[in-house]
């Protein structure tokens, strides 16, 4: 793999963000609204409920983690969609660019865009609602890592889906996080779910993050093996998604799908 | 029969037995052709003849059903990245992203093509194609002629040994088209690269191409010097020959002109 082609994919996204505030604003605005909304809901629940549960830590923490995961996934898919929207596939894939370089470029873009959202969320949650995230110190890293890796895997998977099904399938991508959320126990323990949903939840890395987050908030510590399993699953998902993307790309080259993305009107 | 590696390296492009089939539909039917360094080869044919399919296969964005493509002697199927490093293209149907400026587009593609002296090369091309004053303008806001100049600048970023130009002057006024043709001719005559050129402008083809290939229904019907072919086939002009071929493919080409299928 060469550095310049990878840098090209990330640089393109930087150029677009720099030239258009409307691209940067959603990265900040949605997460800020979520944190403020859920921050006040959590604070209100703390005042009316006498369960001893710290809703700010458990609910707002869950929202922050979930939004972070969603931003990572969207960071990867948005970079891919730039090529879909600008009908740029022929220009990009007629270069010496390797698929692995393209995917790493998408991932680098996802890292940067999700970090912007994460910084905004952590700042607001800590400053406005006293969320004790920073007190977790380095422990925060495996939680974020598992979500980050799964977000990348899902972003690559969603990109493969759009490459295979065409630009119109873009609308299928946006609800994916919402469709997964009931299974991974963002706001409730997995034990709440029926057995079949729990089974699906155990196969999804975010479940291990949210189960452990609730355990930490309740003062029971965390399961290192559980978090490691979550990270391992997320890495496996990235591998599977990358293989699927490569397979779909090869199909698109073989069938003419890739060329048709740009040249439908040509002879 | 495919060329030996040493012989293939003499060509900017060598395609052998190239075919593309979609189910029962044969888009390109086992064609063989070459482009030498310093040579401009015109790829002509009516709509649906297989020109764009052929170009897409050479660009690596469409996998052939049969045959082999060698770019600078490098097998595209086996060493895709290495082969494409020698190639570039400009096509009317592949506009550069309109939301990036002229400079940003060139920077983006110079990195994709892994151009070592990218920044210096961009400055050189901006000057050469009179784009310096437009460097901060979004590509989508450029006129057709300016977009063509940008597309050609992008196509020359990596100093390609094989250049594919799909109707590069289609949207230019006669003066701008003449300037572009002169530049391309100079580029080829320096021996720097071989050029595969498609156009529906027969005057242009006659003026610039060293050799033409007539494609129809995915086959090469005729090949030769665009200035000699019309007379050899009893046509008053290349345009008349084109129309005749497009409507009624040649069955038996007269002596003196090579025909292949």
Given an 8 Å threshold on Cβ–Cβ distance, is B114 in contact with A263?
no
In this structure, are residues B259 and B233 in contact, taking their beta carbons and an 8 Å threshold?
no
**What DSSP string describes B128-148?**
HTT-GGGTTSBGGGS-HHHHH
- Helices and strands (H, E) in chain A, number of each type: 13, 0
Q: Is B95 on the interface with A (CB under 8 A)?
A: yes
Q: Compute the mean pLDDT over every residue in chain B, rounded to the nearest whole number.
A: 88
- Local confidence band at A241 (pLDDT 50, 70, 90 cut-offs): very high
Given an 8 Å threshold on Cβ–Cβ distance, is A263 in contact with B84?
no
Chain B residues near residue A265 by CB distance under 8 angstroms: 93
Residue B37 sits at the vertex; the CA angle it makes with B31 and B41, to the nearest 5 degrees, is 45
Write down the pLDDT at residue B249.
55
In this structure, are residues B93 and B168 in contact, taking their beta carbons and an 8 Å threshold?
no
Quick one: closest CA in B to A85, which residue? B97
Chain B residues near residue A267 by CB distance under 8 angstroms: 46-49, 51-52
Q: Which of A5, A90, A267 sits opposite B47 (nearest CB)?
A: A267
pLDDT, one tens digit per residue, over B232-261 is 988 888 999 888 888 865 454 444 444 443
Q: Nearest CA to CA, how far is B108 from chain A (Å)?
A: 5
Question: B224 is written with which tokens?
Answer: 């030769």
H-state helical runs in A130-223: 140-165, 170-173, 176-184, 195-202, 205-217
- Bridge partners of B216? B219
pLDDT-wise least confident of A17-31, A125-139, A218-232: A125-139
Write down the pLDDT at residue A4.
95
Of B253, B181, B56, nearest in space to A91 by CA: B56
Write down the pLDDT at residue B257.
46
Backbone angles phi, psi at B43, to 5 degrees: -105, 105
- Bridge partners of B2? none
- Local confidence band at A262 (pLDDT 50, 70, 90 cut-offs): low
In this structure, are residues A80 and A66 in contact, taking their beta carbons and an 8 Å threshold?
no
Which single residue is written with the structure tokens 């990330």?
A10
Tell me how far apart the alpha carbons of residues B54 and A223 are, in angstroms, rounded to a whole number: 58
pLDDT, one tens digit per residue, over B117-168 is 999 999 999 999 999 999 999 999 999 889 999 999 999 999 999 999 998 8
Residues across chain A: 267
Interface mutation target, options B94, B96, B159, chain A, most CBs of A under 10 Å: B94
Interface mutation target, options B61, B137, B161, chain A, most CBs of A under 10 Å: B61
pLDDT, one tens digit per residue, over B22-64 is 988 999 999 999 999 999 999 999 888 899 999 999 999 999 9
Return the number of other C-beta atoms located less than 10 Å from residue A37's C-beta: 12
H-state helical runs in A49-194: 55, 61-85, 89-93, 99-129, 140-165, 170-173, 176-184
Between the two ends of chain A, the Cα-to-Cα distance in Å is: 35
Quick one: closest CA in A to B116, which residue? A4
Mean local confidence (pLDDT), A5-30: 89
Write down the pLDDT at residue A57.
79
What is the sign, positive or negative, of the torsion defined by CA atoms of A25, A81, B165, B5?
Answer: positive
Backbone angles phi, psi at B123, to 5 degrees: -60, -40
Given an 8 Å threshold on Cβ–Cβ distance, is B62 in contact with A90?
no
ipTM of the complex: 0.87
Cα B247 to chain centroid, rounded: 24
Q: What is chain B's alpha carbon radius of gyration, rounded to the nearest angstrom?
A: 18
In this structure, are residues B51 and A267 in contact, taking their beta carbons and an 8 Å threshold?
yes
Give percent of chain B with pLDDT exceeding 70: 91
- Kindly tell me if the per-residue pLDDT of B13 is higher than 60: yes
- The conformation of residue B104, written as its DSSP 8-state character, comes to H
């Amino acid at each position: 793999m060469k550095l310049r082609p990878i840098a090209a994919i990330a640089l393109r996204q930087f150029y677009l963000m720099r030239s258009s505030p409307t691209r940067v604003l959603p990265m900040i605005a949605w997460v800020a609204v979520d944190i403020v909304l859920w921050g006040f809901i959590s604070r209100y629940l703390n005042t009316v409920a006498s369960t001893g549960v710290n809703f700010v830590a458990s609910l707002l923490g869950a929202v922050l983690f979930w939004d972070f995961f969603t931003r990572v996934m969207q960071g990867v898919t948005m970079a891919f969609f730039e090529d879909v929207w600008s009908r740029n596939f022929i220009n990009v894939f007629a270069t010496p660019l390797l698929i692995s370089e393209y995917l790493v470029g998408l991932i680098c873009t996802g890292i940067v865009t999700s970090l912007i959202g994460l910084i905004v969320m952590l700042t607001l949650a800590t400053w406005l609602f006293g969320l004790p995230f920073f007190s977790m110190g380095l422990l925060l890293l495996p939680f974020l890592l598992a979500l980050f890796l799964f977000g990348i895997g899902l972003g690559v998977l969603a990109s493969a889906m759009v490459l295979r099904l065409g630009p119109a399938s873009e609308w299928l991508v946006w609800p994916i996080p919402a469709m997964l959320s009931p299974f991974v126990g963002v706001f409730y323990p997995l034990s709440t779910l029926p057995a079949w949903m729990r089974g699906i939840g155990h196969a999804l890395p975010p479940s291990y993050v949210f189960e452990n987050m609730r355990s930490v908030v309740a003062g029971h510590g965390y399961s290192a093996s559980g978090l490691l399993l979550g990270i391992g699953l997320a890495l496996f998902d990235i591998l599977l998604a990358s293989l699927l993307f490569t397979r779909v790309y090869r199909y698109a080259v073989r069938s003419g799908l890739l060329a048709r993305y740009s040249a439908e009107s040509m002879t | 029969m495919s060329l030996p590696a040493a012989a293939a390296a003499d060509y900017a492009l060598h395609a052998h037995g190239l075919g593309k089939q979609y189910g029962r539909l044969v888009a390109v039917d086992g064609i063989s052709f070459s482009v030498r360094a310093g040579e401009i080869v015109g790829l002509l044919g009516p709509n649906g003849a297989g020109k764009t399919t052929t170009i897409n296969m050479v660009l690596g964005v469409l996998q052939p059903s049969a045959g082999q493509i060698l770019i600078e002697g490098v097998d595209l199927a086996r060493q895709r990245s290495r082969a494409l490093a020698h190639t570039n293209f400009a096509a009317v149907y592949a506009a550069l992203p309109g939301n990036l400026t002229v400079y940003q587009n060139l920077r983006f593609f110079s990195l994709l093509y892994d151009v070592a002296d990218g920044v210096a090369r961009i400055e050189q091309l901006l000057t050469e194609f009179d784009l310096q004053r437009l460097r901060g303008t979004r590509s989508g806001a450029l006129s057709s002629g300016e977009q063509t100049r940008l597309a050609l600048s992008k196509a020359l970023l990596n100093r390609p040994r094989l250049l594919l130009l799909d109707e590069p002057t289609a949207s230019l006024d006669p003066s701008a088209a003449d300037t572009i043709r002169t530049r391309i001719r100079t580029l080829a005559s320096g021996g720097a690269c071989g050029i595969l050129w498609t156009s529906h402008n027969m005057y242009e083809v006659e003026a610039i191409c060293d050799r033409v290939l007539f494609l129809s229904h995915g086959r090469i019907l005729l090949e030769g010097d665009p200035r000699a072919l019309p007379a050899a086939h009893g046509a008053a002009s290349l345009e008349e020959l084109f129309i005749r071929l497009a409507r009624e493919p040649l069955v038996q080409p007269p002596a003196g002109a090579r025909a292949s299928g």
